[in-house]
Amino acid sequence: MREHSDIVIVGGGPVGTALALALADSASQVQVLETRTDLGRVAHKRTLALSYGSRLILERLGVWAALREVTEICDIHISQAGGFGMTRLHAVDEGLPALGYVVDYGELDSALHAALRRTAVDVVTGATVRSTAHYAGYACVQAEIKGAIRQITTRLAVVADGGAGSGIARETHDYAQHALLANVSAELPHRGWAYERFTADGPVALLPQGKGYALVWTATAERAGALLDLPDAAFLQELHAHFGDRVGRFSSVAARTSFPLNLSYVREPIAPHRVIIGNAAHILHPVAGQGFNLGLRDAWELAERIRDCRREDLGVLSMLKNFQSGRQLDVSGSIFFTDLLVRLFSNASPLLQRSRGLGLLALQQMPPLRHLVARRMVFGARG
């Protein structure tokens, strides 16, 4: 562990590691502080939806080719339960090989760390960051490492710990929903199709994964708890009744779990010599799968700002304000887009149901508008 580094990244998850990789061959000395002691150990499999834009970033970082469990999303079907109207998005219409991909979070994390080990970046494991303070000309990161409190100074502290220990005031909104996750198989092959179906309880998504699907089912806490407790056969019957017949009957389910859904974001992600990115800065509803992709764009664009700035300007407020200004449209747009979808579609209002149906029909019949939505989902608000 170094007592001073040009850049200290708090958090060695995919976003923090991607930033470190993007800076590995820069003139800056980079140090990563990660709470985990064993970076090769993954507690459980977790599905992650990557946009095609995120694939481009991972290719530039040299890690995409290392991923083996990758399933393409070539087409997306969007509909609402109990009402008319639907929209289809196609990769071929956008001139892309895929709109997105379903990968395993643990495999991506491992691939990023394997690439990072081949660089000169220092990675300190078993480091629990207690505080990050900024002063005139530098920041100070206080971390507990092997039972001892250590002070690390830096020109720029990047908080990318997923919000676990940032200690920064956040704006939050409780959606009063839980996301139930599971792996399911169905009667019909997916052929690269993903489904987003809006219901009064919230959206339900099926993402192609291997030969089956990754399920994201939004429901109230009580409903999610009841679904978790059901025997497999009863759960599959409930899922079929809720989702419909588009993929035929569901035949198996595994790895059911759930977690609460909130919108959470930091109003002031920058301060002199400190910046917050990724989930530490903004946690979104999983509808439209924007959260991780937004964080990866944070990391990539921050790396570009760092590379372009003079050494004496690293971490100064004007440099960070330029970064924040460049990210404002993407971050605010993603928050607004996902929050609006949840508020408009998670209800049984007859008036809104009719309006939603007309909106989905209009989207299907207007290729320029459909193109705009697809590009926004793939590349962010500036796509």
CA 317, 321, 323, 324 torsion-angle sign: positive
The order of strands in the sheet holding 282-283 is 86-90, 75-80, 193-199, 202-209, 212-219, 171-186, 250-265, 282-283
Distance CA 11, CA 109 (A): 12
Distance CA 382, CA 380 (A): 5
Q: Is the pLDDT of residue 340 over 60?
A: yes
Distance CA 258, CA 95 (A): 36
Domain limit, last residue, from 259, 289, 319: 259
Distance CA 383, CA 379 (A): 4
Domain range holding 284? Answer: 4-70+103-170+264-341
pLDDT score at 383: 62
Average pLDDT for residues 246-252, to the nearest whole number? 95
Residue 356 C-alpha from the chain's centroid:
26
46 or 328: which leads in pLDDT: 328
pLDDT score at 43: 53
**CATH number of 190's domain:** 3.30.9.10
Burial class from Cβ neighbours inside 10 Å (0-12, 13-18, 19+) for residue 171 reads exposed
What is the number of structural domains in the chain? 2
Residue 252 resides in a domain: yes
Distance CA 378, CA 284 (A): 16
Are both 196 and 277 inside the same structural domain?
no
Where residue 382 falls among pLDDT bands split at 50, 70, 90? low
Please give the span between the terminal C-alpha atoms of the chain, in angstroms, as a whole number.
Answer: 39
Are both 241 and 331 inside the same structural domain?
no
- Given phi > 0 = left and psi -120 to 50 = alpha, else beta, which region is 372? alpha
Are both 165 and 276 inside the same structural domain?
yes
Average pLDDT for residues 278-297, to the nearest whole number? 92
Which letter does DSSP use for residue 288 in this model?
G
pLDDT score at 8: 97
The secondary element (H helix, E strand) that includes residue 45 is none
Q: Is the pLDDT of residue 352 over 80?
A: no
The CA-atom distances, in angstroms, between 102 and each of 131, 254, 291 are 35, 17, 14
Are both 23 and 121 inside the same structural domain?
yes
Distance CA 165, CA 354 (A): 44
Residue 10 resides in a domain: yes
Are both 212 and 166 inside the same structural domain?
no
Are both 323 and 236 inside the same structural domain?
no
For the stretch 42-64, pLDDT in tens is: 655 689 999 999 999 999 999 99
Give buried/exposed letters for 369-379 (b at 16+ CB in 10 A, else e): ebeebbbbbbb
Closest CA to 37 of 151, 106, 128, 110: 128
**CATH number of 38's domain:** 3.50.50.60
Residue 158 resides in a domain: yes
Domain limit, last residue, from 308, 324, 341: 341
For the stretch 232-245, pLDDT in tens is: 999 999 999 999 99
Distance CA 96, CA 88 (A): 15
Burial class from Cβ neighbours inside 10 Å (0-12, 13-18, 19+) for residue 3 reads exposed
pLDDT score at 213: 97
Domain limit, last residue, from 226, 259, 292: 259
